[in-house]
Structure 1
């Protein structure tokens, strides 16, 4: 049987005819809306997987009454059942199970193709919200043209996944008099908690594969770029490409001219853009200069990377690869997840093999949040971290502080002032490794902050407790300490804890550390800590917490600072090895972390147990919680478990007697049966 002929021309004529009757200014496949959109469609991979050449069948740029612009991209098809291909959650499919782009689906289905175009605009333009429309149809048995329409909203709000806007039979929702109501409907759309989690997990998986691909590409094809250079170049490229709406235009590939002229080389252009960006972010001048100098000295003024070869510099080529592979993810609201994945992958790039460096491990975001909550962080806290890594613990603390402020401050003006103060004055982190320090700076910038005190210093040798920028003569009034130290440091890292807590007057601290620190590896430091701080809790964490990175047993220790530990001080020992999460380390898994037993509730329960005691037990078992004491003079008895009572109870006695009588009766019956059988013979 011959394949039915496509009715796409009739469908396109029908759709475009509606737009004409609505007096809307639409452009067809070869038409141009504006240079920005044209460039984005040209830069993005085509529907068939090639470079560029994206041409929606129809496109519009509409404006609502608030003068905000919304690109509208329409894709027509001419076969029945070619409107959209959805996954089990109702989200249009753009990826295969192995995370490669599913170009066959993108090419064959109208909605999927339109969303593919929309992602190009989110990645390469300043537009943050795009309307993707698919329309297809067929001729029924009577020769009548039938059609169906799929309307989807694509934005950072839904992580660039298509979210269905509703059911429509024509395009009249785009009419000027109807458009405001339609936009209001889009703004009210929210992903369910489950869909949001699945969307984030899928994007996280994509980020990892993109980073691996980028690293392999640079390693194989960009000679002369060492491990550190790759990190600096990626960080510089992202900062230059971020932009600030209405103030700083993102650096684009076309801005790099590959000129050999000093002052106008690609590195010079990138440095100027970064300088402008940091200035508009109100980054303190001395901190801004430090960042610029780091980029300049390490990389961007290097003559080799700025030398045009065959009309292109290595800097432009790598910059292009970075924004092509990663641009979408730092523009659609995935900042925490993105920087976490970025740090983990870039740490692998650095190829650390020295013993003193090989334990730099990212704290999972949910553990970072737990530490901040255990340290009782609120909007008035002053939080510091003496081995900040990628600043994940400070980011978690900052989020909790801002959430608390939003709950408590009802004046929008006062709230904004408080948030600015939190970012500028209430966070401080120290990181000695320059490459990791630059990732911490990038992390804070991606989180919307450029003014926090992240310092490239040795917290043990080169820090006396002062602010690093602006208020450099003032002591940082720390009230909360969070830490995941390098375990190869003295006392498994307790050396950082002892110094930080000795510099605080009051407050709380929560650290995650190799648990041998509490059973003999850090005795001297622990003894000193207990002279000025009370151990409130010792929490045994899952062995596979850092699966794929480390398999050491860790504990979280929680302290009240400024109150010496007494012999009768009660310590809460919690066995949290079953935290409700199931972890795997499979590269092709859609997610390696699954909540299989009320994990979120269990983490909240641990916080409440530390604060309020046994009455908060619910998901954890009675045997998982124990209140005991330690000897302040020892420092090696911090890892205790609930004692097991070996004395037999009355119930034990009854059970033993019952089991014995049952055995005796069974033997008697068995012997009687055997006797009867012999007599029968």
Structure 2
């Protein structure tokens, strides 16, 4: 095999850096404490933990005074520049979503992108340049080299994008660096590419969460279910930090001391306190969060030091190492939704309450928000918030609409702040679940101010609790996945919410029996003031693994009594395009096998505009008919099937029977022939 010429490549490239008078550092040298620490904390290229050492590194500033870490990896063989996957992306993950150490080790760009992810994971830098360079000597002993330059950032989920083709490093020189950064800023991924990357990251998150859950469950004894949830919540809040105000808590800050007031729990509590004080969160809520987390963080057992380390520090390190990158690079929606789904599994609710804690999958939450016609000016509420998944989906719809319709960055920033602070309201009665909802909204950039720990049926009067206390919340969009064990499968929540609304739309997902008799009286009352626009039969395996009830989505127009002649749209959405499995070890239990995304879009259009939007769905899946507003049990209709037999049916049946008789006769004859030895 050809001999590596890596020393020659390093010599050539470092010579360029020297000629541009750049302050570059070689692998053993320190760049700055934060970057050095991140590289040593991140798992090495071979797996396991230990030092990561890029061959060269720099920290450059552009004209806006923004810093860009530059990480460079050299190789010395032909064809060892970069290994891409089938989609043309740097292939640093295996099919099982684990680090692809063979590629990271062997290819220059893959190694540099791996180091760049260490910085995304463990530092405040969100934009990093990863450079790989390799080469070989041709038959005339001349060095032939090639260079790969990739941009690794929060915006591309750390996967990296090729910036362009370069023959030397002069783009890093002071003369050309600003123009190079301009070029980097014009790199944009298409929505389809972003969706694909997001999907890939989601699978990684699933794997990390399951790993973390199993690790804590098996190895950390003495922690109750709630403790585990609170520990993960506390660890995440402590490492978030507030730029310029509160430094994120580092692993090294926890000294596992037994000194009073300085245990690991005390340190985390102080950090959370500082974080909450910087956030515009009402005092009562701050106190409640602190009290709840403090109860777990300051117990003696968890702070007890064994072999120089407390259990609390161990769990903190696991959380940061396994999950840090996901909430740092802003995958918030999907990340928190998944985090809470996983942690819900940790909260061992008793069997009879199982159906009450089935979280809504994120794509269904988005569907409900769309059916309730949520836009940037909506005021959305949810009376059984759970981990706030539905509110997060609604918030995303609102923020997207704002982005697409407000051109001024200043106006957009104000609108986004208003959406998060004033236009969402959720109620959750279970305190451990309420904690998850708060954390979810804090991670989302803090729409937590109006998540209330109240019983929406008993204690809620339709008013803001914080900020605008005593002002009515002007709700015009209601979304809900109620606890099905409640009265009328949960229709009592719908009745209360709609009663407090003056206008707008509501979309709820609920056990189907609510529309066919279980909530008859409540439904009759609802229709006296509201119109049922659509009844959608959902796939039976929607909540596979959690619950197997048949669910329906009902869509209402608020504050307009149901007219007996109103045509209700009955849609059979049993085939939504997804195939679901419930395999514990599957990397993905939800597969798009039949144009699922297009089906969901068509469903929203059908509910809003009617039959003219039929495209993928057939006429046998869409049916319009009236209901009797005084009935309350006729909400789940399907197309009447004509069961009267035709002459054609008769002929076919006779034909089938004769064919069967003849085939039997032939078989008998063949059998008798064999017996007589013919």
Confirm or deny a common fold (TM above 0.5).
yes
Give the secondary structure class of the aligned counterpart of 1:493.
helix
Give the secondary structure class of the aligned counterpart of 1:602.
helix
Question: CA deviation digits over 1:590-609, x for unaligned, max 9?
Answer: 54333343333322222222
Q: 1:278, 1:450 within 8 Å by CA — same for their partners in 2?
A: no
Question: CA deviation digits over 1:216-248, x for unaligned, max 9?
Answer: 211222222111101000011111111222332
Distance 2:377 2:409 in 1: 17
Q: Return 579-588 or 87-96, whichever deviates more.
A: 579-588
1:673 aligned partner: none
Pairwise CA distance, 1:305: 1.7
1:635 aligned partner: 632
TM-score, with length taken from structure 2 = 0.92
Q: 1:540 aligns with which of 534, 537, 543?
A: 537
Distance 1:610 1:657 in 2: 41
Distance 1:609 1:83 in 2: 50
What are the residue-to-residue correspondences of 1:219-618 with 2, within 5 Å? 219-297=217-295, 299-587=296-584, 589-618=586-615
Give the secondary structure class of the aligned counterpart of 1:158.
coil
Q: Structure 1 segments of 4 or more deviating over 6 A?
A: 652-661
1:146 aligned partner: 144
Q: Return 554-563 or 103-112, whichever deviates more.
A: 103-112
1:96 aligned partner: 94
2:48 aligned partner: 50
Q: 1:156 aligns with which of 154, 157, 165?
A: 154
1:675 aligned partner: none
Distance 2:109 2:416 in 1: 40
Distance 1:158 1:309 in 2: 41
Pairwise CA distance, 1:37: 0.4
Distance 2:348 2:161 in 1: 40
- Contiguous gaps of at least 5 residues in structure 2: 659-678
Distance 2:233 2:421 in 1: 21
2:8 aligned partner: 10
Distance 1:405 1:105 in 2: 41
Q: Return 186-195 or 59-68, whichever deviates more.
A: 186-195
Q: 1:363, 1:392 within 8 Å by CA — same for their partners in 2?
A: yes
1:672 aligned partner: none
TM-score, with length taken from structure 1 = 0.92
Distance 1:408 1:452 in 2: 25
- Residue 327 to residue 185, structure 1, CA distance change in 2 (3 Å): same
Pairwise CA distance, 1:450: 4.4
Distance 2:583 2:146 in 1: 40
1:188 aligned partner: 186
2:169 aligned partner: 171
1:36 aligned partner: 34
Pairwise CA distance, 1:617: 1.8
Give the secondary structure class of the aligned counterpart of 2:497.
helix
Distance 1:594 1:50 in 2: 32
Give the secondary structure class of the aligned counterpart of 2:328.
coil
Q: 2:424, 2:447 within 8 Å by CA — same for their partners in 1?
A: no
Distance 2:309 2:69 in 1: 32
Pairwise CA distance, 1:522: 1.6
Q: Return 276-285 or 534-543, whichever deviates more.
A: 276-285
Q: 2:355, 2:547 within 8 Å by CA — same for their partners in 1?
A: no
Give the secondary structure class of the aligned counterpart of 1:329.
helix
Q: Return 652-661 or 120-129, whichever deviates more.
A: 652-661
Q: 1:283, 1:450 within 8 Å by CA — same for their partners in 2?
A: no
Q: 1:382, 1:426 within 8 Å by CA — same for their partners in 2?
A: yes
Q: 2:354, 2:546 within 8 Å by CA — same for their partners in 1?
A: no
Give the secondary structure class of the aligned counterpart of 1:198.
helix
CA RMSD of aligned residues (A): 2.3
Give the secondary structure class of the aligned counterpart of 2:3.
coil
